Amino acid sequence: MGNYKSRPNQTCTDEWKKKVSESYGAVVERLEDDLCIKDNELLELKHVFSSDEAFSKVNMNYRTKNGLSLLHLCCICDGTKAHVRTLMLKGLRPSRLTRNGFTALHLAAFKDNTELVTALLHGGADIQQVGYGALTALHIATIAANNETVNILLQHGAFVNVQDAVFFTPLHIATYYGHEQVTRLLLKFGADANVSGEVGDRPLHLACAKGYPNIVKLLLTEACKTDVNAQDNEDHSPLHFSCRFGHCEIVRYLLQGNFDVHPHAVNIYGDTPLHLACYNGKLDVASELIRLSGTESLTKENIFSETSFHSSCTYGKDLELVKFLISQNAMSINHQGRDGHTDGAYVSVPSPLGKIKNMTKEKADVLLLRAELPSHFHLQLSDIEFHEIIGSGSFGKVYKGRCRNKIVAIK
């Protein structure tokens, strides 16, 4: 009765982006774990870095349980550039990783300690060294939105387009988190806005999905040469994402600007941007799309044999959206998809157990009949006592029950 039943709630790209989000969350947790030192140990270490005498007597091979050397600890416990210089002259390697996978430069970048970042770089720390997740210090500073540190790293030659384990550049990360000032800096130093992440996602895809209009505008400046119609591995354009998540301001900017956006492009599922707006009940976006790009998308069917009108009925998220699409008069309300189903295949009502069942038009007719019956023929759920399951019927399972002191079958 229609392939719509097998449509997944999430695409492969959705699943991957969820893992990406979780991975960056894990990065921050690991960094914070390295910064977390027991109070008594922290007091002792701060004393070491505040007293020349104590510092001169400290064991250079000292390590914490997380594998932090004195060079790492200098970046956490109020050390100075003089301490960094001394420790490196005494042979402490700036390339040493903590058990969580970070160098002293990573930690200084995360803490936004520009003095120590500069001292480490002048002492020979490798600005391109990767740690956990193939992250460089520039990635870390970008995650933390540390503008000054980002600037220093770029001025000292950090690769602006370096990719981490999920093939995200610092620009991907800045747009993902909505760090506007960091985005400006990265673009100023020549960040490539057309580099693809693991699933073909560009920074513009991320900004459009997250809803950051100012970053979208930065990416679409002429100097960036951003491909406004770039497709990810599932052929989603940036417009697809802004429509799906209901970012009307971005949709309007993309379509009203001189960007040659393709408003009727389809992804691998055959979805136009209008389909995605309708699946997700985004009335404002749907109306803007039609106003600015016409009605061509209204008659397009995806691989599930669904038009945008079908899509608006599939999850029933916005009745006003359904009414709006009907008002466009672009197609019949009874239009059949390639597999034969119509909008009536999506009518849903509560079953006796409160579940939502998909109904055909024939079943909807039962509801119309009920509406015509006198009220004393109507029942409420509170009038019915459910017992065991005794079979199944066209509405689903059939229950034995009691109503008005009589044994009845309920379906």
Binding residues: 411
Here the tokens at position 123 are 């002492």
Distance CA 368, CA 358 (A): 16
If DSSP states are collapsed to H, E and C, what string results for the chain?
CCHHHHCCCCCHHHHHHHHHHHHHHHHHHHHHHHHCCCHHHHHHHHHHHHCHHHHHHCCCCCCCCCCCCHHHHHHHCCCCHHHHHHHHHCCCCCCCCCCCCCCHHHHHHHHCCHHHHHHHHHCCCCCCCCCHHHCCHHHHHHHCCCHHHHHHHHHCCCCCCCCCCCCCCHHHHHHHHCCHHHHHHHHHCCCCCCCCCCCCCCHHHHHHHHCCHHHHHHHCCHHHCCCCCCCCCCCCCHHHHHHHCCCHHHHHHHHHCCCCCCCCCCCCCCCCHHHHHHHCCCHHHHHHHHHHHCCHHHHCCCCCCCCHHHHHHHCCCCHHHHHHHHHCCCCCCCCCCCCCCCHHHHEEEECCCCCEEEECHHHHHHHHHHHHCCHHHCCCHHHEEEEEEEEEECCEEEEEEEECCEEEEEC
Binding-site residues for ATP, please? 411
Q: If we measure between CA atoms, which residue out of 197, 187, 136, 188 comes closest to residue 162? A: 136
| Neighbouring C-beta atoms of residue 143, cutoff 10 Å | 22
Q: Which residue has the tokens 């510092």?
A: 55
